[in-house]
Chain A
Amino acid sequence: MSEALAIGAPTVRKREPGRLWIVPPAALLALLFFYPLALIARQAFLDDSGVANVAEIIRVLNSRFFLNALVNTVTISVAATAGCLIVGLVLALILAFVPFPGSGFIARLIDTFIALPTFLVTLAFTFLYGSAGMLNSGLMEAFSLPLPPVDFLYSTWGVVLAEVTVYTPFILRPLLAAFSLVDRGQIETASVLGARPFRIVRQVILPAAVPAMIAGGSLCLLLTVNEFGIVLFIGAKGVITLPLLIYGKAIQESAYQVACIIAVVNIALSLGLFGLYRFAAGRLGA
């Protein structure tokens, strides 16, 4: 594959046919990804006659459905990320520092959630917390209630809870990696010196966890902003996020230009978070 002889050659070589090997995969990516992306931007900014379409852009950006979706997206994303950070930290602390028989297996089990489809959790939540789900049936039977008492699933919080389940592994993984590097001797020394566990966590363990939490957290922000399956499956009328709005406008209403305008905003938001993640991960040395 490579004609390059010098791996890490210091001086720039004049004749380097090896450099051209990058062209096929780069061209494939350009054609299948960047070209469509550019067309989204073009369709968003120009109308069919090729004239800049400012009025339509302003109309969409000021519309109720767009602003509503934007607020929903950001709220869900921030809340879910905060939830992931808290749950992830608690689970990681216990798995790493108060291990129990089988904790390694459990950590791997949680890890496999990354490979499972996101909507699985939503579907399960329907059985658990839906109006006819286990929790509500149980409460109605136990207290002879006429109506299901628990009704958070079809709201923003249902989505947030589902996303916490799905994305906590993305925090857990870097945290466990960071904790595995914490010097056990430090913790033992601190204990011998009489520090209480809470103090050790705050002064020894948390500083080690901060970079992993920043990197994992920014990845969570990105993934939750982009999440589609969970929101679609919950299907609550009031909970529309940007990806769902793009789907609705393009497929259900065939309003492609509106969809493209929203997509540009969504992509810009995602790329900003991607930049944040890369920056954080770069600082981590990941």
Chain B
Amino acid sequence: MLVWSRPGRIVLWMLFALIFGVLFLAPLAVILLSSLADQWNGVLPRGLTTAHYADVARGAAWNSVKASLITGFAASALALVSGTWAALSLRLQGPALKRLLGLLFFIPSAVPSVSVGLGLLVAFSHPPLLLNGTIAIVMISHFVLISAFTFGNVSAGLARLSPDFEQVASSLGARPAYRLWHVTLPLLAPYLVAAFGLSFALSMGELGATVMVYPPGWVTLPVSIFSLTDRGDIFAGAALTMILVAATLILLLGLERVTKRATGA
């Protein structure tokens, strides 16, 4: 306890409440409120309605939810496999190559998403790799952007894993494949789940690369929300944003529960 006087603590807590309220709580509350707002010309909306949700549900929103979920799942799954594979096989390299490759696997997280989209457009607009205008290019762009996060999460998990587990397994006669499947991967499971959850959340909210590459008919949630608000339909945009937030949070909480149950923590 740094501040011993009660008034001093209360002043600090009020400062905290102010910053937290203005920066974090108000935006979330307002998005929720506006998604339910009937008409909003004054300080508070006139009344509450679920009409916006009904509207977006009738429109193309369901397709957006589907597009986002499928893209997120495919890109995260691919990123999980590739990131885990990369992190595991990087351990077999010499120190110099390990450093270099470790850096290279991280670089996609540093490049602006719009440039990733631009690069994919430039690279895959001509045969033989004509992907422009396909759903695949959206998934690839998401995969590229989240791959570094999965790689990073799994690498961090591996670094925390005591080498004793694998060595004892080997000494007891476990071949590399058996050891990987029965020891290394189960011990990494919490990190894999966390990596998948974070990837999924990032993919669900991805906008920069998607607006560069998305084909008509595969409009993800963020792109939908943008076109709604760009048209001035901000209430519908807010409703769709709440759907996005809810989907993301449900997924993250669900994964967290799965991890907790699996590790018995």
**A and B, direct touch (CB closer than 8 Å):** yes
User: Is residue B172 within 8 Å, beta carbon to beta carbon, of the partner chain?
Assistant: no
Task: Please pick, from A1, A90, A250, the residue contacting B89 in the complex, using a CB distance under 8 A.
Answer: A1
> Known: A2-B88, A21-B92, A37-B111. Contact between A110 and B24, CB under 8 A?
yes
Task: Name the A residues within 8 Å of B57 (CB-CB).
Answer: none
For residue B248, CB closer than 8 A to chain A, the reply is yes
| Residues of chain A from 112 to 165 with CB closer than 8 A to chain B in the complex | 112-113, 115-121, 123-128, 132, 134, 137-138, 141, 164-165
A24 beta carbon closer than 8 Å to chain B = yes
Question: Among A5, A94, A116, which residue has its beta carbon within 8 angstroms of that of B170?
Answer: A5
- Nearest to A228 among chain B residues (CB) is B208
Kindly provide the distance from the CB of B99 to the nearest chain A CB, expressed in whole angstroms. Answer: 11
- Of A26, A33, A263, the contact of B101 (CB 8 Å cutoff): A26
A109 and B24 in contact, given A91-B16, A98-B3 (Cβ under 8 angstroms): yes
A71 at the interface (CB under 8 A from B): no
Contacting pair B30 A197 (CB below 8 A): no
Inter-subunit contact B204/A39 (CB<8 Å): no
Do B89 and A8 have beta carbons less than 8 Å apart? no
Q: How many residues of A contact B (CB 8 A)?
A: 95
Across the interface, which residues of B come within 8 angstroms of A7, CB to CB? 91, 163, 166-167
B118 adjacent to A226 (CB under 8 Å): no
Do A233 and B229 form a contact, CB below 8 Å, given A32-B143, A33-B116, A187-B2? yes
Q: Report B-chain residues with C-beta under 8 Å of the C-beta of A18.
A: 89, 92
The answer to whether B112 touches A267 (Cβ under 8 A) is yes
Q: Give the interface residue-count category, chain B.
A: 35 or more
A20 to chain B minimum Cβ distance, whole angstroms, is: 8
Q: Which of B24, B115, B197, B211 contacts A113 (CB 8 A)?
A: B24
Q: Which residues of B contact A128 (CB under 8 A)?
A: 26-27, 30
Residues of chain A within 8 A of B26, CB atoms compared? 124, 128
Flag A76-118 by CB within 8 Å of B: 1 or 0 each: 0000000000010011011101101000001001101101111
Residue A16, interface by CB 8 Å? yes
In the complex, are the beta carbons of A100 and B198 less than 8 A apart?
A: no
Of chain B, the residue at the smallest CB distance from A3 is B176
Which interface residue of B44, B106, B229 has the most chain A CB atoms within 10 A?
Answer: B229
The answer to the question of A229 belonging to the interface, with a C-beta cut-off of 8 Å to chain B, is yes
B122 at interface (Cβ–Cβ under 8 A)?
yes
Q: Among A52-60, A206-214, A240-248, which stretch is in contact with chain B?
A: A240-248
- Please, what's the 1-or-0 string for B92-110, where 1 marks a CB less than 8 Å from any CB in chain A? 1110000001011111111
CB pair B144–A33 under 8 Å, yes or no, is yes
Are A243 and B112 in contact, with the CB atoms below 8 A? Answer: yes
B65 on interface, CB distance cutoff 8 Å: no
Contact with A along B200-240 (1 / 0, CB 8 A): 01101111100110000000001001100110001001100
Q: Which of A241-279 contact B (CB under 8 A)?
A: 242-244, 246-247, 250-251, 256, 259-260, 263, 266-267, 270-271, 273-274, 277-278
Task: Give the CA-CA distance A205 to B3 in the complex, in Å.
Answer: 13
Q: Are A36 and B120 in contact (CB under 8 A)?
A: yes
CA distance A112 to B28 in the complex (A): 12
Residue among A22, A40, A95, A243 with the most chain B CB within 10 A?
Answer: A22
Interface SS, A side: helix
Contact A117 B241 (CB under 8 A): yes
Chain A residues whose C-beta falls within 8 Å of the C-beta of B265 in the assembled complex: none
Q: Considering residues A32, A110, A134, which has the most beta carbons from chain B within 10 angstroms of its beta carbon? A: A32
Task: Indicate whether A236 reaches chain B with its CB closer than 8 angstroms.
Answer: no
B31 touches A127 (CB 8 A): yes
Is A232 positioned at the interface, with any CB of B under 8 Å from its CB? yes
In the complex, whether A175 has a CB less than 8 A from a CB of chain B is: no
The answer to the question of B140 belonging to the interface, with a C-beta cut-off of 8 Å to chain A, is: yes
Complex contact A28–B82 (CB within 8 A) = yes
A116: chain B residues within 8 A (beta carbon): 201, 205, 245, 248
Distance (whole angstroms) from the CB of A108 to the closest CB of chain B: 11
A to B CB contacts below 8 Å, 28 in the list: A1-B176, A5-B170, A22-B86, A22-B101, A29-B86, A29-B104, A29-B147, A36-B116, A36-B120, A40-B118, A87-B19, A91-B16, A97-B1, A98-B3, A110-B20, A115-B249, A119-B225, A120-B27, A123-B225, A123-B238, A127-B30, A138-B42, A187-B2, A228-B207, A235-B230, A247-B208, A260-B118, A274-B109
| B residues at A contact (CB < 8 Å) | 1-4, 8-9, 12-13, 15-16, 19-20, 23-24, 26-28, 30-31, 33-34, 40-44, 82-83, 85-86, 88-94, 101, 103-116, 118-124, 140, 143-144, 147, 163, 166-167, 170, 176-177, 180, 197-198, 201-202, 204-208, 211-212, 222, 225-226, 229-230, 234, 237-238, 241, 244-245, 248-249, 252
